[in-house]
Amino acid sequence: MGKVWFVGAGPGDPDLITVKGRRLIEQADAILYAGSLVSDAAMQWCKPGCEVADSKAMALEEINQWLIERACAGKTVIRLQTGDPGLYGALIEMVQALDKEQIEVEVVPGVSSAMASAAAAVESLTLPEVTQTVILSRVEGRTPMPEGEEIEALLAHHCTVCLFLSITLLKKIQQAAQAAGWSPESPVLVVQKASWPGEQKIVRGTLSDIRERCIAEKVTSQAMIILSPTLGAREWPELKKSKLYDETFSHRFRKASAKPEVSA
């Protein structure tokens, strides 16, 4: 019996796959990749004779059967998924089918488009005394949201919110954010195809105009939406500094070299 590896391909740039993921691609006998979202450039490391197939036209049962047949033939099989396999994929639905056949499974994490989008725009998702919380979510569309996870409820936290699969629902996001108390001038970042060589597009705006800006830039798919009080901090004249590197702050690797200032 072979083994099935679920490998996160990362956000788009083939160089952002993990070293372990690339090594597995080099060793694999069969690879089924999500062609609508994963760049076929990741196939450049396949060994001669490796069977490669694109799953974009397959239903779940077809995908499961493809993986099962090749694993039962004793092959090392990779299901190559966009971003991280544990975020907005059908990982568990596939694993359950493999478990029934007693096929060994292992997951290799990947870089999420949320992190790649922040990196592309040189933004930090957290800042001391601004926000220390990041919510990864999506807006309700054809797939309903569980109770308590509606976009209005999430935005009420006023922390960093990264929204997947929601670029066509910007109007709903604008309405929900304003209802949750966000200013119309709150900065919003949209990154389409984060890290994809030659295809990445960064759109900056405010809550009031981001939809029009995205329409003007023809950003209608494969885009990450980030609302955060940290956006634009690169230009702020003052920042609350991290305690980790503060010379007045001791930790187990370094003793404080100065005394903290005392307010009058």
> For the chain, what is the domain count?
2
* Residue 209 structural domain: 113-235
DSSP 74: T
- pLDDT for 38 equals 85
CB crowding 70-81: b at 16 or more within 10 Å, else e: bbeeebbbbbbb
- Same domain (yes/no): 82, 130: no
Can you give the pLDDT of all 264 residues of the chain as single tens digits?
A: 899 999 999 999 999 999 999 999 999 999 999 888 887 788 899 999 999 999 999 999 999 999 999 999 999 999 999 999 999 999 999 999 999 999 999 999 999 999 999 999 999 999 999 999 999 999 998 888 999 999 999 999 999 999 999 999 999 999 999 999 999 999 999 999 999 999 999 999 999 999 999 999 999 999 999 999 999 999 999 988 776 666 666 666 667 666 666 555
Instruction: Check whether residue 133 and residue 28 sit in a common domain.
Output: no
Under a CB-based contact definition with an 8 Å cutoff, are residues 148 and 172 in contact?
A: no
Domain assignment present for residue 251? The answer is no
Question: Is the domain of 212 the same as that of 119?
Answer: yes
Residue type, 68: I
- CATH code of the domain in which 200 resides: 3.30.950.10
Do the beta carbons of residue 242 and residue 233 sit within 8 Å? Answer: no
Looking at the structure, tell me whether residues 54 and 151 fall in a common domain. no
Kind and range of the H or E run holding 183: none
Whether 97 and 175 map to the same domain: the answer is: no
Residue 139 sits in the same domain as residue 90:
no
Q: How far apart are CA 134 and CA 118, in angstroms?
A: 12
